[in-house]
Amino acid sequence: MLLALLAAVTAVTTVAAAPAQAAGYRYWSFWDLTDGTWTYANQGPSIARPGDGDVQGFRFAVSENSQDAAKPRGPHDFGAICGATDARDGSKRVALVVDFGTRADATGGENPPAPRTACARVAEDATSAEALASVAEPLRYDSNALLCAIDGYPRTGCGEQVSGDTPETSGDTGTASGGAADADSGGPSAGVYAGIAAVVLLAAAAVWQSRRRR
């Protein structure tokens, strides 16, 4: 019985010590609005060529993969973003949503700007990257043409891996300036519960051993 109790203690503490999430990457994801729903873009912004009336989004977050990636937040209706921009021959209008993410996803303690929208009027053959550059410079790219920063954010880093034992998250909750979702919940941690369970189990083992010796 003692061996069984010790095994239970080991199991509890092992579960408590497990990482809260798997490793991810901190980067700008790129999105298309399709039938009112954000879908992960199947082309990069330097290749994609949106049409007049399209809505595209960019979101900075920590994500494991495209299925896990956090979507842009805020208004994303073309009329609301580009309604005041008239159509013109030889150009197109692209509505852009730029979401700088939450403080939990930020690099080096930076405070992300609030999400914003912009209507880019660009040449008919312009790429999404060109549309973004027209309203949100400076942009920063790495040597592999990966988009690293929009409007200078973040100041450093580009697609770096984030270990699974960090508290950072790519969830859609919270605010760009660091809201309730970025704060500690204030409840007991898993380690506290594991410690309580271990004490209870070891105490039970001691009682059993003392009775056995009588």
Q: So what's the pLDDT on residue 109?
A: 85
- Dump pLDDT digits (tens) for 17-61: 334 445 799 999 999 999 999 999 999 999 999 999 999 999 999
Q: Considering only CA atoms, which of 149, 50, 126 is closest in space to residue 95?
A: 50
- Dump pLDDT digits (tens) for 103-149: 999 988 899 999 999 999 999 999 999 999 999 999 999 999 999 99
Task: Please indicate, yes or no, whether the overall pTM of this predicted structure exceeds 0.95.
Answer: no
- Dump pLDDT digits (tens) for 188-197: 333 333 333 4
Q: So what's the pLDDT on residue 110?
A: 94
Residue 64: pLDDT band (50, 70, 90) is confident
Torsion of CA 108, 184, 75, 130, to 10 degrees: 10
Whose tokens are 């992300």? That residue is: 112
CB under 8 A, 24+ apart: contacts of 8-12: 8/197, 8/201, 9/197, 9/198, 9/201, 9/202, 12/194, 12/197, 12/198, 12/201
